[in-house]
Each structure stands twice: as structure tokens, then as C-alpha cells.
Structure 1
């Protein structure tokens, strides 16, 4: 790959990611109670998230977390289209297609969060909540061993092969379609780990940073496939622990009995 292309693409995508991280960090304290997770039911004020607010937040989150992982694919796309004499518009369209795929996928967690806000705060005192959370975490781990995960990860780790086989006639329209398809493969690779945020809290910056680092390492490190299986086994074990010991769920999200009492008082 052309070093110049890699540097330019990296600079733009990383700059966009940094800006999105700054905005997301600024929103996290204001929106933590609006967009929680299973671990925060009964430990914080009731969620008051609206669909429109969520989608704006989701785009910022996915830009922050996913843009660095997209650098190799976008750089490969720019290199190929540049040699064909196409301008930067086609690569911009590719990135827009990629982001559109993630934005549309945000409808699923949005529906889940909108459902969470109707769950009674007293549910946090029952056994079913940590059991459900544990199953969700273990399922995210089990997905790491599936064939679909392997196919999607292999595609994301082979940027030049993907670009060469997904031309769609070239131009901005073809680039947009290619970006949408790549976004689909990226979702297939990352959705399970991303769903952990529905357990620990959507605006949990520590978990967001850890998951983003996992995605970047999986796609770019030569031992990324082995890491995927290690993470999968860890999540399965962690999910079982959460289901058996409810206190673990609180610890994962950084909540506790003190915050729970305060949350119940604020909801009165």
C-alpha cells in the first residue's frame, strides 16, 4: 500500500474518531441515566432516552469506536480508486456507506433500551435480571467461535481482497454500495461484543474503550484470530459468573448499593 495513502486516510479517520470520543465523553455524564444497561436497572434514575437522541448518540459512539478499525479497508479502497483515476469522493462515499450500515443497525439496541425503561426499578433485586445479563454475556462469548464470526473477521482482515471483489461498477454509487457491504461484514464481526454495552451501560466509557481496542486488535494484529477465541472463552466464563453471582453484574458496570439507593430516591 502507498504510505502516503495510509497516512492521509489514518489522519482523517483517527481525527474523526478523536472528535467523536471528545463529544461522547462530554455526553456521558449528562446521558448516563438516559441510556443505561441491564446492570443499571434499579441502581440509577429511570432511563428517559428518546429514539432521536439515541440515534445521534449511536452515530457518535460508532464513529469513535469503529473509525480506527476501518483504516486498513478505507486505505485499500483509496489506493485502488486512486489508481483508477477516481477522486476522493468515491472513498468518502465508501465511508458514508460503512457508517450508514452501523447507523441502521442501531435500531436494534435502540429498541432494547426503549424497552429497558419500562422495567421496574425493583427488578434489580430479583434473580432474573443477572441471569438474563449472564446469558447475554455468555452468548457474546459463544458467538466468537461461530463460522459467521470467522468469515466476517477474515473479510475485515483482508482489505485489498474485499475491495478488489466488491467494485460494483466503480464511481461513488459503487463505492457507497461497497461501504454498505463492508459495514455488514463489520457488524457480523463486532455486534456480539458491542452488545455487552447493553449489559454494562451504553455510555460506559471504560467498556467502550476496551471493546474498541478489542476490535482494532482483532482486525489488525497478526494473532487477532487467537485473541478472538481467548475473549470468547473469557466472556463465556464471565457470563456464567454473572448469572450465579448478581454482585458481579454491579461490579462490571461500576454501580453499587449506594448508587442504587440514590437512584431509587431520584425516581420517587
Structure 2
């Protein structure tokens, strides 16, 4: 059974330089993809307001937009793991094959987040129906979302999944025993599930803050990046949990904390939908 070698013995200087160039190129490509995803997200947010529910989006379009959002928010924090995987397969694959395998790994990762997007769509659709029938219920939905997110930051699932995301080497060694069929896709999806387990609480605060709230997305992306890569990431996770719990207490009395749960002007909604019909991702 072949095993992965993450630290080849005594590499030659040309080999080290080649590896550094490949890693630098990988970082650049992932950052460029994330930057493009941010540009698309910001452009789309201009045609969409912040209101309860799915804002009239059908499921396929919602999932497309969701995947773009996840690429923008998650790829920077995924880069170290993806590039570690590239190093693991470097000695057994040629350059073009390696690039395809890396793309398959990233695709599997985004597939895991697409699955969570199905749940997010259902939650947003239910929220929209509830707030349409009872606008005052938005305060309690927002408080519940912040409370759930805050508790998640202290829960065992968060702790286990964050530990994996911060130190994935053991799992990557385990992945060496995966069967070859769609191996990179399955590895990416497996890591993506850990990431979902780590970050789902952060994502549900987009219900009260607004599904297309770019400022909120940028703030959450920064938290995710620091949680996974900064030495003080676990402490940050607890601090964010405390903030969410405080917001849960304040939400029923402070409408400004719930821009994503406020009913908007129907005439403005129609104008937004008209713009969206002439512009797609």
C-alpha cells in the first residue's frame, strides 16, 4: 500500500526551487479565484436587497450564488491544506495531472458546502414565510440564530472540527489509504465536511445580518481565516462566541442588528428583481 511522503529526504536545490515556485503559484491562483468570487458577489449584491427569505431566487440560482460566496469566503483559509495536498501528490504525478487533481480537491471541498447550501436555502425560505406572516417574529428568529451560533462556538463539534482544520496533517496521511477512484474529490469533500462542521454556526448569522450583506461576509471570512491559521484561533473562536451570545440578548430590542429580517418596500423589491432578470452571474 503506497504511503504519502510529506518531507522528501535531502531534496536537491533545483527541486526545492521548483517546489517553492509551484507553491507560490498555487497561492496566487487560489487568491485570484477568491478575488474573482468576491467581485462577482459584490456585483450581484448591488442588484439584491437585504430582506427575509431567498429574495425570490430559485434553488439552482441560489446554489450557484452560494458556491461563489463560499469560494470567496473559504478559499483563502483552504489554501494551506490544498497546497499541502499538492506536496503530498507531487512526487507521483506530472504537472498537468497535479493541477487537475488539485482542482478536483477544491471541487470536492465546494461540493460539501453546496450540500450545506441546500439546508441554508430551506432555512431562508422558512424564515421568509414566517416573517411575511408575522414581521415581529424576525426579532426572535434573529435572537435564535445568534444564540445558536454562539453556542456552536463553544460546542464539542466546533472544537473537533477546528482542530482538524488547524492541523490536517494526520487526516491527509489517512487519505493516502483511500482507493484511487475519484480520490481527490472525496478527500476534498471529506475535508469540506469538517469545515462545514467548524463554520456552520458562523454562516447562520447571515440570516439576521442578511444573505447578501457583503460587509458581514467579509467579517465572517476574516474570522474563519484567523480561526484556522492564527495561533490564537481557538481564543478568537470563544471571543466570537461571546459576541454572538451578547447579540442574542440584544437582538429582540435592537432592530438595527437584524437588517436581513426587515421587510423592504415592495416597489424596491420589484426594481431589484427586474435588474436581476437582465443580469446573471
Q: TM-score, structure 1 length as denominator?
A: 0.85
Misfit runs of 4+, over 4 Å: 264-268
What's the offset of the Cα at 1:67?
Answer: 0.6
Going from structure 1 to structure 2, the CA distance change for 1:186 and 1:215 (only over 3 Å counts) comes to same
Partner Cα distance (2:143, 2:82) in 1: 36
What's the offset of the Cα at 1:115?
Answer: 2.5
| Matched ranges for 1:150-165 at <5 A | 150-165=159-174
Does residue 100 of structure 1 match 2:111? yes
Contact 1:168–1:177 (CA<8 Å) still a contact in 2?
Answer: no
Corresponding residue of 1:174: 183
What's the offset of the Cα at 1:158?
Answer: 1.0
Q: Would you say how many aligned residue pairs link Structure 1 and Structure 2?
A: 250
Does residue 67 of structure 1 match 2:75? yes
Contact 1:65–1:212 (CA<8 Å) still a contact in 2?
Answer: yes
Going from structure 1 to structure 2, the CA distance change for 1:266 and 1:95 (only over 3 Å counts) comes to closer
What's the offset of the Cα at 1:246?
Answer: 3.6
What's the offset of the Cα at 1:7?
Answer: 1.4
Corresponding residue of 2:40: 23
1:214 equivalent among 223, 230, 245: 223
Going from structure 1 to structure 2, the CA distance change for 1:160 and 1:172 (only over 3 Å counts) comes to farther
Q: Which structure has the bigger radius of gyration?
A: 2
Give the secondary structure class of the aligned counterpart of 1:202: coil
Partner Cα distance (1:192, 1:202) in 2: 14
Partner Cα distance (1:231, 1:169) in 2: 36
Unaligned runs of 5+ in 1: 39-45
1:13 equivalent among 10, 18, 30: 30
Corresponding residue of 1:49: 57
Contact 1:76–1:159 (CA<8 Å) still a contact in 2?
Answer: no
What's the offset of the Cα at 1:122?
Answer: 6.5
State the superposition RMSD in angstroms.
2.4
Give the secondary structure class of the aligned counterpart of 2:93: coil
Unaligned runs of 5+ in 2: 1-6, 8-18, 271-281
Partner Cα distance (2:231, 2:105) in 1: 25
